[in-house]
Structure 1
């Protein structure tokens, strides 16, 4: 996460959640909503009701240690499964077409975000009351593994088994690499999350292939990284993310938006 995004994420998390649960995903309207002041209280989503809707959508359960878990029978899980089904059908076509090409052409690859794309932040978000801070995220990631997004390890591992190279591109900071690698492995992801396949944000020494350096927006950082991956002889056949900013900027033949009513990142 970028520090510059943290406060913005905290301010609009609940409003974005209400829009996502109710009338659709927060796209162009999100920026305008943040800039305009409500005329009456009736224009403001009730935070308690929004939180209740989020819990119902994820099928919230709480274990004896007070940890929150999403249910595999929840509407969230069903929506994710439908997206994964479509993605696998597309990737099966890629595998079939690639078999006819032999070793000619660019190698197929997929790119995945981490938070709420491969790993589910639901328990963390409930613990911090949907109020993200870099400090609380560090403390959580250092000591706790996030659960995998339902079905994603199976899809990702299948893609690798069919010769599709897997890359992870996240807005998490470089200092969170070891915790993130541990979590991906423990969550069941088999593709190596090594430095050649796992990209995190490095604001101290940004890579030369990003002209925006340490000041990249999410779109610039992620699109620029995908461009770099393709420059190494890969063809990104699918890009997975829970934010529209994960998917914008090109350098992917297909994009898959996973649901996330908990926060919005431009």
Structure 2
């Protein structure tokens, strides 16, 4: 027993040392199948939350989604729908929530972005993009977009993205972060 415990402590120490050493190095992107499994695992708690939260009676609700590597693939199968996120968006819409997108993409690309989301099958009730001359940080711009959605009388029940800048700044009941592998994904 004591020997097994000691071996476990030594093994834990080795693992901890390996993780600490690896913390300063870049994380390689996984293969597409691993990435999709990681996304599905990250979306599952959001689906469970929305299953409990929606429908919301007379309350106007919204699901807010980032686009790149959250709703549409950009590093793998560029432009393809992220199936787990698409299923979540459709489910939220069926339960009465609006589906809104908040992206750092430029306003000049609105038509192409709307077309991409439509071609991928996403319901689309609103799209907030970076406006010409807006030199605010991604975090500020996305926070302002969510605040404007609330100003329309909507309660943002969930906000989902793969970057911290998609999520910080408030204006959502819950946030759910998809993998970005230490910033290696766009």
Taking structure 2 as the reference length, the TM-score comes to 0.80
Residue 64 of structure 2 aligns to a residue whose secondary structure is strand
**Inter-partner Cα distance in structure 1 for 2:19 and 2:65:** 26
Q: Give 2:179's aligned residue.
A: 259
Paired residues of 2:42 and 2:179 also in contact (CA < 8 A) = no
Q: 2:47 aligns with which of 59, 67, 88?
A: 88
Distance 1:147 1:23, change over 3 A: farther
Structure 1 residues 44 and 117: CA distance shift in structure 2, 3 A: closer
Q: Judge conservation of contact 2:101–2:124 (CA < 8 Å) in 1.
A: no
Judged with a 3 Å threshold, the aligned counterparts in structure 2 of structure 1 residues 150 and 230 are, in CA distance, closer, same or farther, namely same
Change (3 A) 1:86 1:123: closer
Q: How does 1:74-85 map to 2 (within 5 A)?
A: 74-85=33-44
Q: What corresponds to 1:160 in structure 2? A: 93
Q: Which residue of structure 2 aligns with residue 134 of structure 1?
A: none
Q: CA deviation at 1:85?
A: 1.3
User: Can you list the C-alpha shifts for 1:202-252, whole angstroms capped at 9, x where unaligned?
Assistant: 124xxxxxxxxx221111111111111111111101001110011000000
Native 8 Å contact 1:80 1:150 kept in 2 = no
Work out whether residues 174 and 201 of structure 1, in 8 Å CA contact, stay in contact via their aligned partners in 2: yes
Q: Residue 4 of structure 2 aligns with which residue?
A: none
Aligned counterparts of 1:256 and 1:152: Cα–Cα separation in 2: 11
Structure 1 position 82, deviation (Å) = 1.4
**Matches of 2:25 and 2:180 in 1, distance apart?**
20
The answer to whether the aligner puts 1:225 opposite 2:157 as a matched pair is no
TM-score under structure 1 normalisation?
A: 0.57
1:174 and 1:200 in contact (8 A); partners too: yes
Q: Are residues 1:170 and 2:123 paired?
A: no
1:192 maps onto 2:145 in alignment: no
Counterpart selection for 2:74 from 121, 139, 156: 121
Q: How many Å separate the matches in 2 of 1:148 and 1:172?
A: 17
Equivalent residues, number:
166
Alpha-carbon distance in structure 1 between the residues aligned to 2:185 and 2:43: 22
Counterpart Cα distance in 2 of 1:252 and 1:44: 33
Alpha-carbon distance in 1 for matches of 2:25, 2:49: 40
Distance in 2, Cα, partners of 1:23 & 1:155: 33
Q: Please identify runs of 4+ aligned residues in structure 1 that moved more than 6 A.
A: none
| Deviation readout 1:78-135 (Å, 9 max, x if unpaired) | 1111122111110011115x2xxx32xx4111111110110111148xxxxxxxxxxx
Corresponding position: 1:234 with 2:154:
yes
**How large is the Cα RMSD of the aligned pairs?**
2.4
